[in-house]
Chain A
């Protein structure tokens, strides 16, 4: 497995050799001895970078930043903050957020002001291929804050964890530029390190992050598409299939402090050191909403109505602005990848009712020492701090018999954040894992991450 950034403590490594070989040769190297010696996947600044083939015209993705409302369980109420008295029914909670505007007309884009979603749209990017260089571009426009025009806040897109980024594309506003209302900016990425990351607006980031401008992004390894160890999709360039999977699920963790969200809607300021997580969210929802169907997930083929608006998941009009489901469906014996990222302000302790979890990556880094030593481990609980990501695999256990799925819970063992503060059972950062019989035809292949296959 190759950590494609040279180890910080080591020398530059056989960079020229790695850069000179073709893709097939590189992958072979990556899967062989070179992997263990810390071979690198990219040429770096000390060689002449190859001119990247910039996509002409439209960006790969087009994001808008704005405000809006989402739904969280209205009971128990947290007076006077929750549910918010200004919220349009059935919604409860004021947010700032991103929307996917890719492919929309200018009119449709403008229609999306005040229609933010949470969590932000999931997206993924193929690892930069030196032999087929292609820039990945995300244009960000600022649609303005409908309820708080007095703030005239700028927005940015900060890809959290992107190595060696220049300030221009980092989205940290002091060291670069940010996007005022009505303007746009295009971020260019050449991601060389596969794994799971997160992204958020970095303007006034105590506020903008907590208000919901947060989501998950991951990078697919170059190794994808080869058949290694019986798999064709992988978390990392492992060379041996050890990070291969049959299905993958993004699990994005965030939190809502009702008072802070209310304060922004009501032109107040919260005292941040009083912070508390009233709601802990998994992909922008709390259990049992977490197991409601997906809305539009695939960022490259967004599904909207004629106005460009989101379409609510079947039977859940209240989840119109929370399209990301967390239900895990799989068949016995399948290997399932869970990609966790946490942009809440508290550590989450994600655990399952009886399925061991293998940590194969953390912070978009395969679990390998600089000399290749395997540091992956098996655990029952993943402690995920703010700003951390974990890449986790499990093998779906045997089915207990019958035709329906076996149900396991995946929940935050910090119970205060798996209850919504309600007295009656699980909520918050909780979802279900549905394991079908190995030969079941109830679920097919995934079309995109978090797809149920139904």
Chain B
């Protein structure tokens, strides 16, 4: 797969500040901002094997098979990820083929009706497996999957595992229903899923790749499809696994929360950012505002929760229309629409929510249609690092001397974040974790 390739080979690794003091968040924000600038202003420096898209969902397609019989090779690997407070965490993960460790696992994209084959190669010192929640009649080595039991009859794995240290097993199923699904280890999940054995599976409907479901009202804008995969980490559990020690899961306590395997500010760096070699998936949502003629369709966000509790995710300024959950469109038997709009996407453990969203420039404020209040002098304001100096989309103003702004072309940045706010921290570094932004570019032509 290509998604883990570096985009900017010369980008400096972010400076890590391990402290837990208030300035940490500021330092991190500056780092974020530098990262964003680097990511967004040097598109010409992409390495040869750059991912197909710097933002948005990165699909891994089948590596073998044919158009309706994709085959994936997934290998369990160990590796490390970077966390926003400067720590690293030892992880397990699924990688595509012989790719290096990555977190989370590759996004498997298939089409409705495909017969999907996933060959698992297990390099871990324990048996491991892949469970496909929401898929029916999954086969393991050609036979219906069975739970594995220990000598006492207790279930140790929801599905047949691959043996430790080099075992292989082949899962297959027909992707009958379109939607967003998790795949995750079914073996000792309190350890294995938390260690990182999970990823997203996207099943495209027969209606096409720019529909979420086979409903006309589930169509979205090509190129505005985003993953919001939410997870958490207890560093003590990861340390124990790394050292081969026992961990009492009753002592589990998450200290980090992540989006697409990254914490803010890394979350808004490009897909495949070079300083995040094992965390290929960014979470920045880059869109254009609604326009009846040129941009009539919404964007699409695929939310997945692999954590231990509900995550209340809050996108500012654009309510999500929840059109499906767990691969089921929100409709009744008569086809009536049961979707609902939300400004808090409260997604439960193991759930997936399919959400359409769009942003209107509701008042069309501009220099010719100014905001109906006096704009205070910027010298009398605290200026945000993404602010253009102007309230208006596509407009920039001179900022006071010494003010750093990462705004490029008067684009808007509107935040999305977990609203259980203690979870947008990283073991002491506040304003990190599952935070990302929606970047709204000015209408074309622009000078972005």
Interface set of A (CB-CB < 8 Å, partner B): 3, 5, 7-12, 15, 42, 44-46, 48-49, 52, 54, 135, 137, 154, 158, 160-170, 172-180, 183-186, 188, 190, 192, 203-207, 209-210, 269, 271-273, 275, 345-347, 362-365, 367, 369-371, 373, 375, 385-389
- Mask of B315-340 contacts with A, CB within 8 angstroms, 1/0: 01111110100000010100011111
Q: How far is the CB of B348 from chain A (nearest CB, A)?
A: 10
Tell me whether B312 and A166 are in contact (CB under 8 A).
no
**CB-CB nearest in chain A for B291:** A46
Tell me whether A11 and B296 are in contact (CB under 8 A).
yes
- In the bound complex, residues from chain B placing their C-beta under 8 Å from that of A371 are 336-337
Q: How far is the CB of B318 from chain A (nearest CB, A)?
A: 7
Is B372's beta carbon under 8 Å from chain A?
yes
Tell me whether B364 and A186 are in contact (CB under 8 A).
no
- In the bound complex, residues from chain B placing their C-beta under 8 Å from that of A176 are 384, 387, 391
- The A-contacting residues of B in range 1-41, CB under 8 angstroms, are 20-22, 25, 29
Tell me whether A174 and B357 are in contact (CB under 8 A).
no
Tell me whether B296 and A175 are in contact (CB under 8 A).
no
Tell me whether A175 and B362 are in contact (CB under 8 A).
no
- In the bound complex, residues from chain B placing their C-beta under 8 Å from that of A165 are 316-317, 362, 414
Tell me whether A206 and B424 are in contact (CB under 8 A).
yes
- In the bound complex, residues from chain B placing their C-beta under 8 Å from that of A362 are 340, 342
**CB-CB nearest in chain A for B22:** A269
Task: Offer 10 A-B interface pairs, CB within 8 angstroms, sorted by A.
Answer: A8-B298, A160-B343, A164-B362, A168-B391, A176-B391, A204-B430, A210-B422, A272-B428, A347-B346, A388-B342
Tell me whether B338 and A369 are in contact (CB under 8 A).
yes
- A170 CB contact (under 8 Å) in B316, B319, B323, B374: B316
- A161 CB contact (under 8 Å) in B332, B343, B393: B343
Complex CA–CA separation, A186 to B290 (angstroms): 26
Give me 20 other A-B pairs in contact (C-beta within 8 A), A269-B22, A269-B428, A373-B337 excluded: A3-B341, A7-B217, A15-B292, A45-B362, A160-B316, A166-B361, A167-B414, A173-B384, A175-B384, A176-B387, A190-B362, A204-B25, A207-B430, A272-B422, A363-B344, A369-B339, A371-B336, A386-B344, A387-B343, A388-B346
Tell me whether B317 and A387 are in contact (CB under 8 A).
no
Q: How far is the CB of A371 from chain B (nearest CB, A)?
A: 4
Is B172's beta carbon under 8 Å from chain A?
no
Is B382's beta carbon under 8 Å from chain A?
yes
- In the bound complex, residues from chain B placing their C-beta under 8 Å from that of A12 are 292, 296
Tell me whether B425 and A161 are in contact (CB under 8 A).
no
- A174 CB contact (under 8 Å) in B29, B344, B371: B29
Q: How far is the CB of B81 from chain A (nearest CB, A)?
A: 18
Given known pairs A54-B372, A209-B421, A369-B337, the reply for A177 and B378 (CB within 8 Å) is: yes
Tell me whether A206 and B291 are in contact (CB under 8 A).
no
Interface set of B (CB-CB < 8 Å, partner A): 20-22, 25, 29, 217-220, 253-255, 289-292, 296, 298, 310, 312, 314, 316-321, 323, 330, 332, 336-344, 346, 356-365, 369, 371-374, 376, 378, 380-387, 391, 393, 412-415, 419-425, 427-428, 430-431, 437
* Residue from B219, B372, B430 having most chain A Cβ neighbours under 10 A: B372
Given known pairs A9-B323, A177-B383, the reply for A206 and B378 (CB within 8 Å) is: no
- B421 CB contact (under 8 Å) in A11, A166, A188, A210: A210
Q: How far is the CB of B308 from chain A (nearest CB, A)?
A: 13
- In the bound complex, residues from chain B placing their C-beta under 8 Å from that of A52 are 372
- In the bound complex, residues from chain B placing their C-beta under 8 Å from that of A363 are 319, 341-344
Tell me whether A164 and B369 are in contact (CB under 8 A).
no
- B343 CB contact (under 8 Å) in A175, A204, A364: A364
- In the bound complex, residues from chain A placing their C-beta under 8 Å from that of B371 are 168-169, 188
Q: How far is the CB of B234 from chain A (nearest CB, A)?
A: 9
- In the bound complex, residues from chain A placing their C-beta under 8 Å from that of B321 are 7-9, 370
Complex CA–CA separation, A347 to B346 (angstroms): 10
Complex CA–CA separation, A207 to B343 (angstroms): 21
Complex CA–CA separation, A369 to B419 (angstroms): 25
Tell me whether A164 and B430 are in contact (CB under 8 A).
no
Tell me whether B312 and A387 are in contact (CB under 8 A).
yes
**CB-CB nearest in chain A for B346:** A385
Q: How far is the CB of B252 from chain A (nearest CB, A)?
A: 12
Tell me whether A387 and B314 are in contact (CB under 8 A).
yes
- In the bound complex, residues from chain A placing their C-beta under 8 Å from that of B29 are 174
Secondary structure at the A interface, as helix, strand, loop or mixed, is loop
- A346 CB contact (under 8 Å) in B339, B376, B384, B420: B420
Tally the A-B contacts, defined by beta carbons under 8 Å.
Answer: 250
Complex CA–CA separation, A319 to B230 (angstroms): 40
Given known pairs A206-B431, A373-B337, the reply for A387 and B419 (CB within 8 Å) is: yes
- In the bound complex, residues from chain B placing their C-beta under 8 Å from that of A375 are 338, 340
* Residue from B332, B343, B428, B430 having most chain A Cβ neighbours under 10 A: B343
Complex CA–CA separation, A196 to B298 (angstroms): 25
Given known pairs A166-B361, A166-B391, A168-B371, the reply for A183 and B344 (CB within 8 Å) is: no
- B253 CB contact (under 8 Å) in A173, A272, A273, A373: A273
Tell me whether A174 and B384 are in contact (CB under 8 A).
yes
- In the bound complex, residues from chain A placing their C-beta under 8 Å from that of B22 are 269
Tell me whether A365 and B373 are in contact (CB under 8 A).
no
Given known pairs A8-B356, A369-B340, the reply for A174 and B421 (CB within 8 Å) is: no
- In the bound complex, residues from chain B placing their C-beta under 8 Å from that of A160 are 314, 316, 343
- In the bound complex, residues from chain A placing their C-beta under 8 Å from that of B21 are 269
Tell me whether B344 and A179 are in contact (CB under 8 A).
no
* Residue from A168, A186, A209, A275 having most chain B Cβ neighbours under 10 A: A168
Tell me whether A179 and B373 are in contact (CB under 8 A).
no
Given known pairs A166-B363, A365-B342, the reply for A8 and B358 (CB within 8 Å) is: yes
- In the bound complex, residues from chain A placing their C-beta under 8 Å from that of B413 are 167, 174-175
Complex CA–CA separation, A185 to B330 (angstroms): 42
- A175 CB contact (under 8 Å) in B340, B374, B387, B427: B387
Tell me whether A273 and B255 are in contact (CB under 8 A).
yes
Tell me whether B372 and A164 are in contact (CB under 8 A).
no
Tell me whether B340 and A386 are in contact (CB under 8 A).
no
**CB-CB nearest in chain A for B375:** A168
Tell me whether A5 and B341 are in contact (CB under 8 A).
yes
Given known pairs A188-B372, A386-B312, the reply for A164 and B359 (CB within 8 Å) is: yes
Tell me whether B393 and A174 are in contact (CB under 8 A).
no
Tell me whether A9 and B298 are in contact (CB under 8 A).
yes
**CB-CB nearest in chain A for B320:** A8
Complex CA–CA separation, A165 to B414 (angstroms): 9
Given known pairs A167-B412, A177-B387, the reply for A272 and B380 (CB within 8 Å) is: no
- In the bound complex, residues from chain B placing their C-beta under 8 Å from that of A385 are 310, 312, 344, 346, 419
- In the bound complex, residues from chain A placing their C-beta under 8 Å from that of B337 are 369-371, 373
Complex CA–CA separation, A142 to B364 (angstroms): 29
Given known pairs A273-B425, A369-B339, the reply for A386 and B298 (CB within 8 Å) is: no
Q: How far is the CB of B224 from chain A (nearest CB, A)?
A: 12
Q: How far is the CB of A62 from chain B (nearest CB, A)?
A: 13
- A205 CB contact (under 8 Å) in B289, B372, B421: B421
Complex CA–CA separation, A346 to B22 (angstroms): 24
- In the bound complex, residues from chain A placing their C-beta under 8 Å from that of B289 are 45
Given known pairs A9-B339, A272-B430, A363-B343, the reply for A345 and B422 (CB within 8 Å) is: yes
Tell me whether A164 and B318 are in contact (CB under 8 A).
yes
Tell me whether A180 and B421 are in contact (CB under 8 A).
no
- In the bound complex, residues from chain A placing their C-beta under 8 Å from that of B253 are 273
- In the bound complex, residues from chain A placing their C-beta under 8 Å from that of B423 are 273, 345
